Structure 1
Amino acid sequence: MPYLMRAEPYDASLGAVRPLFFSDVGFTSEPADSPSNTYFVRRIETPLQVSRSLFDGTAVGGFSETSFGSATLGNDDGALDWLADLDWDGRLVEILYTPKERPTLADFGVLFSGAAEQMVLGDAIEIQLRDLLVLLDVPASRGQFGGTGGIDGTAELKGRDKPWLIGRRRQIEPVLIDAANNVYMVDPLGFSTLLAARDKGVAYPAPVGDYASYAALVAAPLTGDDVATAKAAGLIRLGQEPDGRFTVDAEGVKVSGAWIYRFADLVQHLVTSMTTVTGAGLLDASFTAFNLLQPAVLGYWCDGSSVPKVRDVVDQLADSVGAFWGFGEDRLLSLGRYDGPAMVADFAFGERDIIELTPRSVARRMKSLKLGYRPFGVTFTASDLDQVNVAAADAEAFQAEYRWTAVATDAAAAAASLLATEDEGKTLFDAEADAVTERDRRLVLYAAKRKAFDVTVPLTPGLTVGHTVALTDPRYGLAGGWRGVALEIERNADDENMKLTVLG
């Protein structure tokens, strides 16, 4: 069946991308097509072998899985050796397919749209493929201190990443950037609210003022236990050097004048401010829907001493709310959550469509669950605290990394399954009520008895992970139809089929 490839490697001699078009059997677009009157050179040998996953097997969690694969072009005659002069990494590669024998360009559907990892030259040129999640494998950074003094930090801070804060976090240690004036940085993009400031666990009085800039802040006449802020510059100043560890509870950056704290808003900010992905690369409807689905307050703090990847930060946030996320064939970043199969399937396959159907094992049922919430940026030892002026209950709390919900138990799972698990998880929720809601949601899902199958079906453009699939087959109790969520897809264009792992 016909396959097309569209690629856009970078050509340094042009200072721009060079569009390339290939096919397996030869194809020319029509004058009204885009691109028009274009010959797709007959060079494709292996159109596509690619795998994409939401999660690991039949386990359901919040971590992303990069799709990977390859396509090959015939090059026995060496006519494509010049492709090695182009820069491929991170550049667009798109594979299109149609089952029609005499198609028009409009008949083709997108099987894969992602980025090249690299191009390997040979008689068969291998283009190694990744989805666009590779664009998020970059440092989650606000930049580095220059070490020139003042707001640029001391010489000792030169080259260190600046701290940053999103959402709400408790007991974090802002970075001392000006010891002479007792100035600390929370985030160079600013922060919204200073909820509390403490020295050795003892709270300071409320701030005496908020100033517009670093210069105005250091010029302010502070003494003793005075605390002042320059929230727009992300700074806090003390009237005198603290006696011990200085910590704060704070709410992070504003975007368009509003404090952001919900999962979808935090992801949007991270991706668009710290990677090359722009707002045009987001599926807006999925972000809007997730804000309504999960409006809880989350938070993430980075002190700049070690810098995570953007993708790792999003994964930690996603794990808190049970989200999956990734780029679709439309090249847009979207968000979703596993809540079991939808009532109406996105795709349906009957006995005549199913090439192979194999039951597979599922994770053990869950009997009980508790979740940690309100993580502290730093945990104190007893010697870190002012034992005289810190209440005993506070002293205990300051030494704990997380607070915990009560344990919730599913009686039906406990009675039915002797190997049902007793689980716990750590989240970035700030409020206990939000952690309890998420705990109960997960327990309902994971305590239920579930089925999973590996099923091979014909290549189906548009079908991707996260879609609900309906299967009807006389075996395995599927005669009346059954619905599950596609957790993993392997596409094999040579065999013109796709293998799904479906959980329901």
Structure 2
Amino acid sequence: MIYLIDVCAHDGAQIVTLRFGTVGYTTQPSDDPADAWFEPRIIQPGNYERYAFSQSATSGSARVGAGEIILANPDGALDHLLDYAFDGYQLTIYGLSSFDAPWASRTVMFVGTIEQAEFTWKRVVLRIRDRLAELDEPIQTTDYAGTTIAGGMDEAEGRPEDVKDRPKPLLYGVGKNLPAVAANMFDHIYEVASNGVASVDAVYDRGVALTASGVYPDLAALRAASIASGNYAVCLSPAYVRLGSRPAGQITVDATEGTSSADRSAASIARRILEAQGFVAGDDFDAASFDALHLKNPAPVGLWTGTDEMTILQALNLILGSIGGYIVPDRLGMMHVGRIELPSAAPVVRLDRALILDQEGGVERAATGDQGAGVPAHKVSVNYAYNHAVSDANQLAGGAEESFVAFAGEEWRSVSAEDPAVKDRHQLAVALTFDTLLAAEDDAEAEAQRRLALYSQRRDLFRVHIKSEFVSAVDLGRTIELAIDRFGLSAGKHFLCTGMEEDFERGTTILEVYG
């Protein structure tokens, strides 16, 4: 097999496409692109790693896949590329069966971006990343100006000593006890979410519930409103709360974003975040995978960013991780979501003894990188209903309701699912705990039961060594069948692909599969 790459870069005047190959290759006049020359300079056509989470893990945070391509440059003919900007530009790796194979028969092996180009005396190294790198950017790019220094100003940008240059908060889904930001303390205006909310459900002053007195269309109308002491009024987009009098202490808010309950599931919120950042269904992400994940778990979740820095990827990890989910780009750079579960889809490939590279390691059963290293769990606890403003009774007013005091005193609520029989067989059986953004107890209980069913039995994580040409249909989140005369797999068993390590120079791929 030969490999060809398209590399986009900016030469200072425009975006250009550079083309290289493991051998020289020219497309035909009827091809697109026509008469394109791929210069034979590739030493290493690409090695990179991608995982649904991290290596050997079935939960946690996704990370950006990374690798490198090495070009030969002993003659210095590529030295002029030092002046090119490569960072953030797209790279595509193609595979062809031979140097005389038609361009139309090419297989797209990888679509990603370039982090940077590094130059040595004889080589140019292109550091490559998958498309998750595009999500490793701030989710909120609007900061407080810190210019609200007196009452009567038609703004709510906070004081310079309080929030200047800090991100404005965002809310997705359900938010409980949010410590609203004093955006205009002189006029008693507090910001809840700069992206707007569907409703403000309650406002508390040191835990004492205030009385709702109206909804206003914008900040100017809210600031001009007459509000009685002990009351509050709101503007929903952006979401502000204004009090009728100076507060006694910390102001916290319960609010809900999303026009319907269906808009508050992990999958729906993840899609909304991508779309808010300019990603387009069909071009950048697979809408069908989001719809499928929503059907699997439509439970409401809630993420509030506060005034801390947070990346898009961090937000998606928190949201999707609440239901055991993940987001991954496929080989073509299209982003998909899914969740860790026993595979139910038909396998995209059947791997038998003939396809496995014994000399490379064959099939290895490995411990997972999860809590307990894959030892079965006798108990699973799920934390839910995150409290953003933990307060003890001394910090709350005497008039705070007992239920609020109980809620405010703990960071999480927690539910558990147990199977004591697991400990009868596994002396080192573990108790697993998962932090989630689930909003409701019933949904947390259902997720605890689901994860107990998954983790209370022996599951296998295999590393399978095969030729890269046999895995063109395989991708993260796909089902594969492993059928070998070892490890009880002679009848074949379905696994979920959770990791891929590609080495195109050697023509080998290591698949991590779980089931």
Separation in 1 of the partners of 2:485 and 2:238? 66
Answering whether residue 207 of structure 2 is matched by residue 201 of structure 1, we say yes
Of 480, 494, 501, the residue aligned with 2:505 is 494
- Letter of the 1:89 counterpart: D
Separation in 1 of the partners of 2:79 and 2:177? 58
Answering whether residue 194 of structure 2 is matched by residue 188 of structure 1, we say yes
- Letter of the 1:448 counterpart: Q
Separation in 2 of the partners of 1:4 and 1:211? 59
Counterpart in the other structure of 1:176: 182
Counterpart in the other structure of 1:390: 400
Structure 2 residue matching 1:321: 3-state secondary structure:
coil
Per-residue CA distance 1:331-364 (angstroms, 9 max, x = gap): 1211011111235211111111111222323411
5 Å-filtered alignment, 1:97-496, equals: 97-100=95-98, 102-122=100-120, 123-149=122-148, 150-156=154-160, 157-205=163-211, 207-252=212-257, 260-274=263-277, 277-279=279-281, 280-304=283-307, 306-355=308-357, 356-362=362-368, 363-387=374-398, 389-405=399-415, 407-459=416-468, 460-496=471-507
Per-residue CA distance 1:241-266 (angstroms, 9 max, x = gap): 11121111001366xx9983121222
Q: CA deviation at 1:476?
A: 2.1
Separation in 2 of the partners of 1:109 and 1:444? 39
- Letter of the 1:311 counterpart: L
Q: CA deviation at 1:282?
A: 1.4
Separation in 1 of the partners of 2:19 and 2:258? 44
5 Å-filtered alignment, 1:69-108, equals: 69-100=67-98, 102-108=100-106
Counterpart in the other structure of 2:34: 36
Instruction: Among all aligned residue pairs of Structure 1 and Structure 2, give the percentage whose two residues are the same amino acid.
Output: 26
Conserved in 2, the CA contact under 8 Å of 1:373 and 1:431? yes
Separation in 1 of the partners of 2:202 and 2:401? 16
Conserved in 1, the CA contact under 8 Å of 2:201 and 2:253? yes
* Distance change >3 Å, CA 335–CA 487, structure 1 → 2: same
Q: CA deviation at 1:71?
A: 0.7
Separation in 2 of the partners of 1:338 and 1:155? 45
Structure 1 residue matching 2:237: 3-state secondary structure:
helix
Separation in 2 of the partners of 1:361 and 1:99? 36
Q: CA deviation at 1:31?
A: 2.7
Per-residue CA distance 1:189-214 (angstroms, 9 max, x = gap): 32111111111111112x21111111
Separation in 2 of the partners of 1:376 and 1:223? 28
Per-residue CA distance 1:9-56 (angstroms, 9 max, x = gap): 122222xx2011111111111233221221111111111111111233
Conserved in 1, the CA contact under 8 Å of 2:25 and 2:99? no
Q: CA deviation at 1:99?
A: 3.1
Separation in 1 of the partners of 2:166 and 2:57? 38
Conserved in 2, the CA contact under 8 Å of 1:151 and 1:214? yes
Separation in 1 of the partners of 2:262 and 2:236? 12
- Letter of the 1:21 counterpart: R
Conserved in 2, the CA contact under 8 Å of 1:63 and 1:318? no
Separation in 2 of the partners of 1:12 and 1:278? 28
- Letter of the 2:322 counterpart: S
Conserved in 1, the CA contact under 8 Å of 2:202 and 2:210? yes
Q: CA deviation at 1:272?
A: 3.2
Per-residue CA distance 1:247-295 (angstroms, 9 max, x = gap): 11001366xx998312122222323324x64443111111121222221
Separation in 1 of the partners of 2:294 and 2:363? 37
Conserved in 1, the CA contact under 8 Å of 2:192 and 2:239? yes
State the TM-score, normalizing by the size of structure 1: 0.94
Separation in 1 of the partners of 2:475 and 2:397? 56
- Letter of the 1:226 counterpart: N
State the TM-score, normalizing by the size of structure 2: 0.92
Q: Which moved more, 1:99-108 or 1:109-118?
A: 99-108
Answering whether residue 57 of structure 2 is matched by residue 51 of structure 1, we say no
Separation in 2 of the partners of 1:170 and 1:7? 47
Per-residue CA distance 1:113-164 (angstroms, 9 max, x = gap): 1111110123111101111111111112150122343324244243222122
Counterpart in the other structure of 1:27: 25
Structure 2 residue matching 1:383: 3-state secondary structure:
helix
Counterpart in the other structure of 2:5: 5
Separation in 2 of the partners of 1:428 and 1:126? 41
Structure 1 residue matching 2:317: 3-state secondary structure:
helix
Separation in 2 of the partners of 1:414 and 1:56? 28
Per-residue CA distance 1:345-394 (angstroms, 9 max, x = gap): 1111111111122232341111111211101110112211123x234343
Conserved in 2, the CA contact under 8 Å of 1:142 and 1:188? no
Per-residue CA distance 1:312-342 (angstroms, 9 max, x = gap): 1111112211001121112121101111123
Separation in 2 of the partners of 1:423 and 1:318? 18
Separation in 1 of the partners of 2:266 and 2:409? 27
Conserved in 1, the CA contact under 8 Å of 2:22 and 2:42? yes
Q: CA deviation at 1:222?
A: 1.1
Structure 1 residue matching 2:193: 3-state secondary structure:
coil
Conserved in 2, the CA contact under 8 Å of 1:135 and 1:277? no
Separation in 2 of the partners of 1:162 and 1:467? 38
Per-residue CA distance 1:65-114 (angstroms, 9 max, x = gap): 32111111111111111112111111111111133463111222122211
Separation in 2 of the partners of 1:392 and 1:180? 31
- Letter of the 2:264 counterpart: Y
Structure 1 residue matching 2:488: 3-state secondary structure:
coil
Structure 2 residue matching 1:141: 3-state secondary structure:
coil
RMSD value, Cα: 1.9
Conserved in 2, the CA contact under 8 Å of 1:48 and 1:494? yes
Conserved in 2, the CA contact under 8 Å of 1:413 and 1:447? yes
Conserved in 2, the CA contact under 8 Å of 1:264 and 1:291? yes
Separation in 2 of the partners of 1:440 and 1:97? 44
Q: CA deviation at 1:441?
A: 0.8
**Equivalent residue pairs, number:** 495
Separation in 2 of the partners of 1:56 and 1:165? 27
